[in-house]
Structure 1
Amino acid sequence: MTRTITRSYDSYETAAAVVEQLEVAGIAADDISVVGRDERAKDSNAAEGAGIGAGIGGAAGLLAGLGMLAIPGVGPVVAAGWLAATAAGAVAGAAAGGLVGSFTSAGVSEEDAHYHAETVRRGGTVVSVKAADAHAATAEAIMDGATPIDRDTRMAQYREEGWKGFDEKAEPYKAPASVI
């Protein structure tokens, strides 16, 4: 049996380290996906495509195949793996659901799909693994060991700000200016 394990991280660097650890542990790159924001990719354009991976920290494996993808409601992201392919297909075909639909079709609950999509919209990065039972505990240990965002705390924060769910028609998120 296979199940989908998904975690969100505040930084691309943390997510990239998780992907590399998953691959070292023997989880096939075909079973791993990453979608997120990386500031080093902001000056790149979507036409540069898959070549961006090596330039932002992925010399081998899944990260070498990172490409740029524009997701409605999120804006430009770096993405690789089956989740990215599903999201790209939804965007190209104007299919309903976009990123949320990609998560739910992979077995993520609708509420969690909205949370993960919103986290990407706000600058985070999501790692998702399709893990056979034999690899699930290893994948979870690696992913949880990197201290993912606490879903419940972050969702409470989003809701305090008036968030009700991911809106693919929303403008890409701009963080409020910090007060010093």
Structure 2
Amino acid sequence: MTRTITRSYDTYETARSVVTQLEDAGVASSDISVIGRDGASTESNAAEGAGIGAGVGGAAGLLAGLGMLAIPGIGPVVAAGWLASTAAGAVAGAAAGGIVGSFTSAGVDKAEAEYHAETVRRGGSVVAVRAEPEHEATIVSIMDGATPIDRTTREAEYRSAGWSRFDETATPYRPPVV
């Protein structure tokens, strides 16, 4: 039975590296998704990529299919893969629940989906992989080898700042100026 494995990373560059490693290990591009902030995402160019479709991947790999997407409560992100297609449909009103609904429809439990959505909102990136049981160990090894964010620690940080769940009606997160 296929299982969805997700990990959040602090930087888009790390997520991008994970995607490349997964593809190099033979994971099909069609089974990988990435959603995150790459630093070049702006409100002005997010609408250009709002029509991301399922036709990403192919010989050039998943990252060749990256596009911009504006997600309610998050703002502009770069996205590719099956999860991005689902999120794009949710943005267009074709699916309920926005990004959290996209994760839960892929088999991620709601609490984890809320965490991943909030992580992207705060500037992180998420890689999600649909994995067959015989490939899970390799996929987990690659994803964990890139030092994903520790969910327990990060959720505690979010909660200490007043967070209780992802709110897609919130304005996109802006980190405090130090």
Distance 2:43 2:85 in 1: 22
Matched residue, 1:73: 73
Distance 1:25 1:40 in 2: 28
Q: Provide the TM-score with structure 2 as the length reference.
A: 0.91
Q: Provide the TM-score with structure 1 as the length reference.
A: 0.90
Matched residue, 1:11: 11
Q: Letter of the aligned partner of 1:17 in structure 2?
A: S
The 3 A distance-change label for structure 1 pair 92 and 77 is same
Q: Letter of the aligned partner of 2:85 in structure 1?
A: A
Matched residue, 2:63: 63
Q: CA deviation at 1:40?
A: 2.5
Q: For the Cα contact (< 8 Å) 2:32–2:128, is it kept in 1?
A: yes
Moved over 2 A (4+): 40-44, 46-50
Q: CA deviation at 1:177?
A: 1.4
Q: How many residues align?
A: 170
Distance 2:158 2:47 in 1: 33
Distance 2:72 2:48 in 1: 19
Matched residue, 1:160: 160
Which deviates more from structure 2 when the two are superposed, residues 36-45 or residues 92-101? 36-45
Q: Letter of the aligned partner of 2:126 in structure 1?
A: V
Which deviates more from structure 2 when the two are superposed, residues 39-48 or residues 26-35? 39-48
Unaligned runs of 5+ residues in structure 1 are: 51-58
Q: Letter of the aligned partner of 1:169 in structure 2?
A: T
Q: Secondary structure at the match of 1:41?
A: coil
Q: Secondary structure at the match of 2:40?
A: helix
Q: Letter of the aligned partner of 1:121 in structure 2?
A: R
